[in-house]
Amino acid sequence: MPAPAPPAALRGPALTFTGDPFQDGLERTMVHEPDAIVAMADGHITHFGPAAEVLKTLPTDVAVRRVADHSLIVPGFVDTHVHFPQTPMIAAYGAQLLDWLERYTFPNELKFADKEHARRVARLFLQECLRNGITTSCVYCTVHPQSVDALFEEAEALGLRIAAGKVLMDRNAPEALRDTAQSGYDQSAALIAKWHGRGRLLYAITPRFGGTSSPEQLAAAGALWRAHPGCLMQTHLAETPQEVAWMKELFPDRRDYLDVYDAHGLCGRRAVFGHGIWLDDSELQRLHAADAAIAHCPTSNFFLGSGAFDIARAVRADRPVRVGLGTDIGAGTSFSILATLGEAYKAAQLNRFALSAGHAFYLATRGSARAMDLEDRIGSLAPGHEADLVVLDLRSTPLIAYRMEQARDFAEQLFVQMTLGDDRAVRETWVAGRLAWERTNPSNCP
Ligand code: GUN
Ligand code: ZN
């Protein structure tokens, strides 16, 4: 683990959220401070607010650095659904979900039996996260426990907050990628003992989905979660109509797809369900009642042709479901959270809803932290929160610079960023109060 970070403070325009704009409106929840100071010490934010206010209480020995012109300080981005082992197979042509798993995903994941391969990919994956301002991720590893060790070891060295878990699969996958209900339980329990709550690391119990886990394995995963309720639980849910139809065949006694998990004790707070595009109203109602979350992964959904998630329906005021944002690499096509927000806008448009930039930036930060039940620790610029933040360059390309000159207000400026921006817009990424990546000098950061 890196040594505690020394005090640091940044001054410049900042954006954060104090609540959920989908429920309480942007006016009451969005804080855009044109001249803010964010001060950090020992990995936490010690001060945040208008510079004129913060300067009154900030110890005089803290050096305040102004960020570059045309910057915006935002909380570190949170990716609620991603497969680090799929980094080498991003952009695999020509298949929809179930074929894509068979043709590309499983052959690729076989290679993670080799821990050194897993480590190399984990390193590249985490660097790519930092380049894109992602400071927390909820990560699927492979069935191999050593793939989890490799990711956690690399994340710990960087001081990142990561939730991750060994994929559980005991059927409909190549023999070498299968565990059993018992071995999957035992291996996951050993990984929990080793990693859960160590520094900033959290364990996520990870049955891949109903297609690759028998009822016995889902029951074992449910028992494991009951024994370790502080862990997260992640799986896939209602991503494509073909998958939903297959679940009906595999689990004929279950009421619906969500009930496949619910009946095995796998629906509750800290459950993060990937996709959830093809859910009916009663399933959304149940997710709401259970306080579970959906990870919305628009680049993946468009890439695999899975569908367009209806976010307005998911957060409906009478039964709002927690929704976070996911890149879903490698079905997802970009590590850029800005690009992912641009696609979330398009998914909403296909459902006749215009997602505002303010709501979108909430989703990428506090909303995703809330989906992981971490909103009291990450996802906001607030004293006491962990000091993960991003300095965005609001003029990162000639076209964006030109377009920004035409923008009439802050909402329009933000919308330009999520529609046209990408990794080039990430000037600095701070992790636990330490500069972890700098666009102008990436090799100089530890
Ligand atoms: N469903 C089950 N496994 C996967 C996966 O690896 N990626 C996606 N997008 N969906 C899945
Ligand atoms: Zn996924």
pTM: 0.98
Q: Quote the ligand 2 centre to 106 CA distance (angstroms).
A: 13
**Is residue 318 in some structural domain?**
yes
CA distance 51 to 200: 30
**Is residue 422 in some structural domain?**
yes
At 352 the pLDDT is 98
What pLDDT digit, counting tens, does each position of 202-211 carry? 999 999 999 9
Nearest to 182 by CA among 150, 214, 212: 214
Whether residue 224 has its Cβ less than 6 Å from ligand 1: no
Could you please report the per-residue DSSP string of 361-398? HHIIIIIHHHHTT-TTTSSS--TTSB--EEEEETT-SH
Ligand nearest to the CA of 304: 1
Q: Quote the ligand 2 centre to 263 CA distance (angstroms).
A: 22
Residues of the chain predicted below pLDDT 70: 1, 442-446
CA distance 36 to 399: 27
CB neighbours of 299 closer than 8 A, spacing ≥ 6? 327, 328, 332, 333, 334, 339, 340, 343
In the block, tokens 């998958």 appear at 243
Q: Using CA atoms of 84, 326, 187, 116 in order, give the dihedral in degrees to the nearest 10.
A: 10
**Is residue 27 in some structural domain?**
yes
Ligand nearest to the CA of 301: 1
At 444 the pLDDT is 59
| Same domain assignment for residues 330 and 433 | no
Whether residue 83 has its Cβ less than 6 Å from ligand 1: yes
At 357 the pLDDT is 98
Angle at 53 between CA 52 and CA 55, to 5 degrees: 70
What pLDDT digit, counting tens, does each position of 156-173 carry? 999 999 999 999 999 999
**Is residue 15 in some structural domain?**
yes
Q: Check if the beta carbon of residue 60 is closer than 8 Å to that of residue 115.
A: no
Whether residue 142 has its Cβ less than 6 Å from ligand 1: no
Whether residue 105 has its Cβ less than 6 Å from ligand 1: yes
Q: Which atom of ligand 1 is nearest to the CA of 86?
A: 6
* Domain stop point among 371, 396, 420: 371
| Same domain assignment for residues 388 and 341 | no
Q: Check if the beta carbon of residue 325 is closer than 8 Å to that of residue 367.
A: yes
* Domain stop point among 351, 371, 391: 371
Ligand nearest to the CA of 212: 1
Ligand nearest to the CA of 242: 1
Q: Quote the ligand 2 centre to 185 CA distance (angstroms).
A: 21
Q: Check if the beta carbon of residue 275 is closer than 8 Å to that of residue 236.
A: yes
Nearest to 155 by CA among 79, 212, 239: 79
**Is residue 1 in some structural domain?**
no
CATH code for the domain of 128: 3.20.20.140
| Same domain assignment for residues 170 and 53 | no
Residue nearest to ligand 1 atom 3, measured at CA: 208
| Same domain assignment for residues 69 and 89 | no
Q: Check if the beta carbon of residue 171 is closer than 8 Å to that of residue 403.
A: no
| Same domain assignment for residues 140 and 167 | yes
Q: Quote the ligand 2 centre to 277 CA distance (angstroms).
A: 13
* DSSP run (H or E) holding 420: helix 410-420
Ligand nearest to the CA of 97: 1
Provide the 3-class DSSP secondary structure of residue 227: helix
Into how many domains does the chain fold?
A: 2
CATH code for the domain of 425: 2.30.40.10
Whether residue 80 has its Cβ less than 6 Å from ligand 1: no
Whether residue 235 has its Cβ less than 6 Å from ligand 1: no
* Domain stop point among 327, 346, 371: 371
For 249-254, the CB contacts below 8 A with 24+ separation are: 250/210, 250/211, 251/210, 251/215
* DSSP run (H or E) holding 71: strand 71-75
Q: Quote the ligand 1 centre to 236 CA distance (angstroms).
A: 7
Whether residue 394 has its Cβ less than 6 Å from ligand 1: no
Whether residue 236 has its Cβ less than 6 Å from ligand 1: yes
**Is residue 2 in some structural domain?**
no
| Same domain assignment for residues 361 and 416 | no
| Same domain assignment for residues 95 and 39 | no
The best mutation among 79, 142, 209 to test binding of ligand 1, ranked by most ligand atoms within 8 Å of the C-beta, falls on 209
In which domain, by residue range, is 427 found?
A: 8-76+380-444
